[in-house]
Amino acid sequence: MTPLDDTVRAVEALLFAAAEPMTVDSMRAYVAGDVRAALDRLVSDYAGRGINLVRRGERWHFQTAGDLAHLLRREREEVRRLSRAGIETLAIIAYHEPVTRAEIEAIRGVQISKGTLDVLMEAGWVRPAGRREIPGRPLTFATTPAFLAHFGLETRRDLPGIDDLRAAGLLDPVDLAVERAVEKANEDD
Amino acid sequence: MTPLDDTVRAVEALLFAAAEPMTVDSMRAYVAGDVRAALDRLVSDYAGRGINLVRRGERWHFQTAGDLAHLLRREREEVRRLSRAGIETLAIIAYHEPVTRAEIEAIRGVQISKGTLDVLMEAGWVRPAGRREIPGRPLTFATTPAFLAHFGLETRRDLPGIDDLRAAGLLDPVDLAVERAVEKANEDD
Amino acid sequence: MTGEQLTLDLDGWEGPLDLLLNLARAQKVDLTRISILALVEQYLGYVERARTLQLELAADYLVMAAWLAYLKSALLLPRDPVADADPEELALRLQLRLERLAAMREAGARLMARDRLGRDVFRRAAAEGLRTIRTPRWSAEIYDLIAGYGRVSARTRPVMHVVQDRAVMTLDAAIARVAAMVGSHVSWTAIERFLPDDATGAFRRSALASSFLAALELARQGRVELQQAAPFAPLYLRAPA
């Protein structure tokens, strides 16, 4: 292996020892030198190994390679089982964020029971994300860095199928889609 | 990096994710192939990196390289204000030094907790100043040069006297009122 | 279908839109090509069956049924283009809602199937953690220091004044004095007679109070006898017989 410079070794040790994923800024509080270059070097060093260095949002951490899941999987410690309502609500928040409760309910066609958002927030995947400046100033919700980390997403752009859904207009409100369809019909006439 | 075989990758991931150091036998419960050869390969791969694979007795685990341990600690200075008890105790020491703890308490009219003197010594403003040659040989306390420096004093004589304090209105007005009332009562008798 | 099964079925739906989506799936065509009319018929039939079995349906199922009945009539009957909403647009609206719910349902499933941290991939279990060592730097201003001393001085000074200036007779002095004097009084003698002749003002009050306590203490020891006719009446002392 080619010799490592001190910054690369330091960042490697730091991320290895850290209890939580770290941002570049938080790493800089510990390590001198070019942290970003060190991360690039480590990502390539660990590519293909049993451990990988991954970026989740603004945070970095080491984790085991996905293809080894069959060896390591711990079914019994299964991360909390979400109800169907919980899964759908989480997906709607992730694909539409920031999104109000009323918007979530409009998509699901049913009221959200009180516990559903609580469970998602308790899991650390969803957070309140400010109020929308419309009458009533409703609270909006968005996903957290822990959500990205848990589902192995580098950014929200990695959400499965998000580009196709956006292109198909399926992330737009129904009203907007109806308007568009009407316009299109008029053009075709 | 040369391609890794599956056993090496599996052992690497296993040891990384393990809560405890593992024996070769316990690794064999998860991983097929030549575990010992995989360990040898990993030891040499990680030599000189920020993380090392080490053997402790019969058990193997990853740990951060010893020379980087200092990086994992970060010192941060926090400015804290002295408590009222701390200020009063420091003032008494400054005006009366060298002074014993019992004398400080007599002057304050209140007991001082052990922590109060510790804080003043930690701040570097107060030092033990020998024992008083009376029964029990109690320790005396005095101020330090750092005390003078912090408060911008040339010498302790620069501290204002009790008459200066009175003139400056620094004797608490409520207590002053009590004092006057008592004096007046004595005159009336 | 038994009533019980139907109840369970209804419990399994996440609301009327969910029920509609599942009925639409049964048409086994792309959601963009479903027959809205057939879907409406199925939904209304479902709700009707629930009613004949006298099952309690949540209000939103009935609201949806009413809306779908209206949609059905709009689709079937000739319409007044001024007064009525465009039934094609209403049908499109329903179809768009179903597509959106289906999209999110599928997205949720794909999300859950990813390699999830703590189930499929793992962070280091025995991470040492990073430590921040906080070193306090204490701060105080010279004003705080001086004002603090002023406070202490003001608190303790008046007490020292009073003790120095006030003339008092201590209890010990009063006991000694009363014990010495009572020996020469075999007849009842008022307590005031035991006070110093020159005692006036605050000192006299102090001497009287201390002498009274001294009398009580000596009586307890059997070295003096006391007599008082009534509360606040003159108090007399004499040597024990």
Residue B9, chain A, CB below 8 Å: the answer is: yes
* Partner-chain residue, chosen from A1, A17, A50, that has the shortest CB–CB distance to B9: A50
* Interface mutation vs chain C, best among A20, A30, A64, A103, most C CBs within 10 Å: A64
Which residue in B has a C-alpha nearest to residue A17's C-alpha? Answer: B64
- The answer to whether C178 and C215 have CB atoms below 8 angstroms apart is yes
Q: With beta carbons under 8 A apart, name residues in chain C contacting B122.
A: 136, 138
* Partner-chain residue, chosen from B80, B171, B176, that has the shortest CB–CB distance to C136: B80
Chain C: give the shortest CA distance to residue A135, in Å.
Answer: 24
Euclidean distance between CA atoms A89 and A105, whole angstroms: 9
Residue A12, chain B, CB below 8 Å: the answer is: yes
Mean pLDDT confidence for A143-157: 93
Euclidean distance between CA atoms A165 and A95, whole angstroms: 9
Q: How confident is the model at residue A79, as a pLDDT?
A: 56
3-state secondary structure at position A64: strand
Euclidean distance between CA atoms B13 and A63, whole angstroms: 8
Chain A: give the shortest CA distance to residue C108, in Å.
Answer: 5
Pairing, β B99-100 against β B139-143: antiparallel
Highest mean pLDDT among A27-41, A113-127, C60-74: A27-41
pLDDT digits (tens, 9 = 90+) for A100-115: 999 999 999 888 887 8
* Partner-chain residue, chosen from B74, B87, B91, that has the shortest CB–CB distance to C132: B74
Q: Residue B14 and residue A72: Cβ atoms within 8 Å?
A: yes
Q: For B36-60, give the DSSP string.
A: HHHHHHHHHHHTTSSEEEEEETTEE
- The answer to whether A80 and A123 have CB atoms below 8 angstroms apart is yes
Q: Residue A30 and residue C112: Cβ atoms within 8 Å?
A: no
Q: For B140-176, give the DSSP string.
A: EEEE-HHHHHHTT-SSGGGS--HHHHHHTT-S-HHHH
pLDDT digits (tens, 9 = 90+) for A69-111: 888 876 555 556 788 899 999 999 999 999 999 999 999 988 8
Mean pLDDT, chain A, whole residue set: 90
A28 CB-near residues (< 8 Å, 6+ apart): A35
Q: How confident is the model at residue A13, as a pLDDT?
A: 94
Q: With beta carbons under 8 A apart, name residues in chain A contacting C130.
A: 14, 17-19, 30
Q: How confident is the model at residue A67, as a pLDDT?
A: 92
| Chain C interface, Cβ < 8 Å to A | 14-18, 60, 89, 92-93, 96-97, 99-101, 103-112, 114-124, 127-130
Q: In this structure, how many other beta carbons lie within 10 angstroms of the beta carbon of residue C142?
A: 14
Q: With beta carbons under 8 A apart, name residues in chain C contacting B62.
A: 124
Which residue in C has a C-alpha nearest to residue B90's C-alpha? Answer: C145
Which residue in A has a C-alpha nearest to residue B52's C-alpha? Answer: A13
pLDDT digits (tens, 9 = 90+) for A129-148: 989 989 989 999 999 999 99
- Token pair for B171: 């004797």
Q: Residue B153 and residue C142: Cβ atoms within 8 Å?
A: yes
- A66 DSSP 8-state letter: G
Q: CA–CA distance from A21 to each of A90, A123, B68, B181, C126 (Å)?
A: 22, 16, 19, 67, 14
Q: CA–CA distance from C164 to each of A9, A137, B162, C201 (Å)?
A: 75, 71, 19, 17
Euclidean distance between CA atoms C235 and C214, whole angstroms: 13
Q: Residue C110 and residue A178: Cβ atoms within 8 Å?
A: no
pLDDT digits (tens, 9 = 90+) for B68-101: 888 887 777 778 888 899 999 999 999 888 999 9
pLDDT tops 80 at residue B18:
yes
Assign B174 a pLDDT band (cuts: 50, 70, 90).
very low
Chain A: give the shortest CA distance to residue C57, in Å.
Answer: 14
pLDDT tops 60 at residue A1:
no
Q: With beta carbons under 8 A apart, name residues in chain B contacting A10.
A: 50, 68, 71
pLDDT digits (tens, 9 = 90+) for B32-49: 899 999 999 999 999 999
Assign B2 a pLDDT band (cuts: 50, 70, 90).
low
pLDDT digits (tens, 9 = 90+) for C100-148: 999 999 999 999 999 888 888 888 888 877 777 777 788 888 888 888 8
Q: With beta carbons under 8 A apart, name residues in chain C contacting A78.
A: 119
Mean pLDDT confidence for A37-59: 95
Which other chains touch chain A, taking contact as 3+ CB pairs less than 8 Å apart?
B, C
Q: How far is CA C240 from the centre of its chain?
A: 68
In this structure, of A47-56, B117-126, C20-29, the range with the lowest mean pLDDT score is C20-29
Mean pLDDT confidence for B151-175: 72
Which residue in C has a C-alpha nearest to residue A151's C-alpha? Answer: C116
Chain A: give the shortest CA distance to residue C136, in Å.
Answer: 19
Mean pLDDT confidence for B93-119: 89
Segments of chain C scoring below 70 in pLDDT: 1-12, 83, 157-166
Q: Give the residue, B22 or B160, on which the prediction is more confident.
A: B22
Which other chains touch chain B, taking contact as 3+ CB pairs less than 8 Å apart?
A, C
Q: With beta carbons under 8 A apart, name residues in chain C contacting B179.
A: 154, 157-158, 161
Chain C: give the shortest CA distance to residue A8, in Å.
Answer: 17
Q: With beta carbons under 8 A apart, name residues in chain A contacting C106.
A: 161
Q: How confident is the model at residue B1, as a pLDDT?
A: 46
pLDDT tops 80 at residue B175:
no
